[in-house]
A and B are shown apart, each in its own frame.
Chain A
Amino acid sequence: MRILIADDHTVVRSGLKAILQAQPDFELVGEAATGEEAVAKTRELQPEVLLLDIGMPGINGLDAARIIRDEAPQVRIVVLTMYDDEAYLHQFLQIGVAGYVLKQAADAELVAAIRAVQRGESFIYPSLTRHLLNLYLEQARQRDQPAHEGSAELSPRETEVLRLVALGYTGQQIADQLGISQSTVETHRAHLMEKLRLRGRAQLVRYALSKGLLEDHGQ
């Protein structure tokens, strides 16, 4: 198993080396300290697995992963990071990395991750899988939502108020645009929220998005 390490910290690299060398079937083929170096060494050494840090000088882990995915899609990338933000995880999953491991647990888990990706599986650090599950559930909920809420009948005025509230206009701006008083706007909003059984502005925006009411505005 040919492995390349990309991390800008020497101490971390030596720690990782020690962990990997404890596994007899792992072969450390090289080390990189920057994003550029990671790309170049991957190109040159053609490792099976790349352990990739996110925060590096030069191009960061995200950019390096994108380039390597395009240049050498057969290389299995395992992100090894201190960031437990789901946003990073999403980004890397979209790029198509095989594993995501937190440095804080870089011992047995790292080895397990490398073995898993070697088998062609994916490995996501357990505490992060909760985020993925939530994301999945949220998407499922949004898919189902229109079905049972879409039937509510809104008056044209209410639909207009819904659209403007969802677009983030202030009560005063909506009142000015529609030529009605601010309290009338609030009444319309309360009615339509009740009709659609929505709670809060964020749900209202999601509903408007699902109905395509906000199109032609983002540019």
Chain B
Amino acid sequence: MHRFLGSLSLRSKMVVAIAALILVLGLGGTIHARLTLSGISNDELDQRALALARDLEGRSGEFLLTNDIFGLHRRIGELVAANSDVRYVVVLDPRGSVRASTFASTLPEGLRQANSVATGSPYSLATLRTDEGTVRDVAYPIDSGRAGVIRIGLTKAPVQSQVDQLTFNLVGLTGAALLAGLVVSYFLATVLTRPLSRLAEAARAVGRGESPVQDELYGHPEIGQVALAFDAMTRQLREKEAERSQLLARVLTAQEEERKRISRELHDEAGQALTSLLMGLTRIEQSGAGAETKIQAAELRAVTTEALDLMRGMARDLRPSTLDDLGLVAALGRYVADYGPRHHLETDFQAASMDGVRLRPGVEIVLYRIAQEALTNVSRHAGAHSVNVLLERRDGHAILVVEDDGGGFDTKRVEAGSPGAKLGLLGMEERAALVGGTLTVESRPGAGTAVFVEVPVGMTGDERNANSDS
């Protein structure tokens, strides 16, 4: 029951409560009225029966004494005529024989025994169930029983029908009240819960990342408080989110700066030193030094060349100088070309509408890193044979597509599924968002995976240079 109530909406609860209240009040009142009325009516009936009996006794004594049966009959006739609810009148002598009666022939069976006056009692009342309905029977002794007993039967039918009519009216009234109550409570509940519904809608809007429209809620006395609190919460969430993405932008920018610096230093400082070393060793080899020295110099030169290659690879991995000097197309083309043989994958890179185009440094590095991440995912998870990388400009946007022919996956499942895969996607999404871009992943099991990044580039001088690093 509790659970059932809990599952109902506030509006339904209010409607049900009001309906139940009206029903209880209406039916209770009806039953009470019915009982009261029938009690009063029964008392009244008894009083009338007694009054009639007393009246008849007052007159009948004389008829009986004079043995004027005709007069008695006439008197009874008048009584019946004057009182429509009198079913019967019977006058019995002290021995129990009928002296006068409204019945045509004999008394109905059992009537004589149905009621009698105990000695000493002024009268006796009894309720009889007959074929013609309930009858209130009064036995009234004539001249304290010495002259006989009067029996008068009053039908309860008119009283009963009156009570029934009242009951019917009350039930009808209750029904009408219930209907009116339902309508009123429904509207009332709607009016009361509408601000709540709107608040809920606002909450959903915030969840979707939209800004809720809720000004009209503030006027509402109670809901207004909730709306204000909710609004404050929304604002705080927004501020936190803004702070978070600013922080993320700063962290990523700092990381890129650091990588760039280390890469440059590796390449320029350490690289040039090793290069000089190479030249020196070459000179020794070509000089007039001894054969042994020359052999040693050659060996050292081989080691130095290896170290130089290793270091240049590291520098490139950290941050390719081509990205800064020549742009995204050159850097990404080189990365894809190196990536293929390293991971035994066929690669194909194509740029379109990118000739001589330099994007903002922030956008270039973001797209480069997302491509790196996407390609790393391909080599790790996709089970692909080939991967295509595409870079183009379309209607003021830079588009990056990384598409493989691997196993693919159910995108819905990753949304809710493995945190690792989700984090990888999230990281790429975050990077894209830093430059105002969006990331879409399309994949189906067995049909490969395509990662799309769309970043607005428009013209130069964009404000959202969050990840700028130049």
A residues with a Cβ closer than 8 A to B are 8-9, 11-12, 14-16, 18-19, 22, 54-55, 60, 62, 82-83, 85-88, 91, 103-104, 106-107, 166-168, 170-172, 186, 199-203, 205-206, 209, 214, 217-219
Contact = CB atoms under 8 A, between A and B. Distances in A.
- Summarize A's interface: helix, strand, loop or mixed: helix
Contact of A201 (B275, B276, B286, B403): B403
With most chain B CB atoms within 10 A of its CB, the pick from A14, A15, A209 is: A15
Contact of A218 (B268, B392, B440): B392
Interface string B447-461: 100101010000000
B132 to A, nearest CB: 82
A103 B395 contact: no
A9 B276 CA distance: 9
Given A107-B279, A172-B442, A217-B395, A55 B388 contact: no
Contacts of B423: none
A203 B450 CA distance: 16
Nearest to A103: B275
Contacts of A55: 264, 267-268, 321
Nearest to B278: A104
B286 A22 contact: yes
Contact of A82 (B275, B349, B353, B390): B275
Contact of B388 (A82, A104, A202): A202
Contacts of B325: 54, 60, 62, 88
A199 B330 CA distance: 23
A191 to B, nearest CB: 15
B352 interface: yes
B350 interface: yes
24 contacts: A9-B272, A9-B275, A12-B279, A15-B276, A15-B283, A16-B279, A18-B283, A19-B283, A54-B325, A83-B322, A87-B330, A87-B333, A107-B286, A168-B399, A168-B401, A186-B447, A201-B348, A201-B390, A201-B401, A202-B348, A205-B352, A205-B392, A218-B353, A218-B393
B396 interface: yes
B254 interface: no
Contacts of B452: 168, 170
Contact of B440 (A62, A87, A172, A186): A172
With most chain B CB atoms within 10 A of its CB, the pick from A200, A209, A218, A219 is: A200
A106 B279 contact: yes
B308 interface: yes
B172 interface: no
B348 A203 contact: yes
A56 to B, nearest CB: 9
A166 B352 contact: yes
B334 A86 contact: yes
Nearest to A63: B325
A181 to B, nearest CB: 13
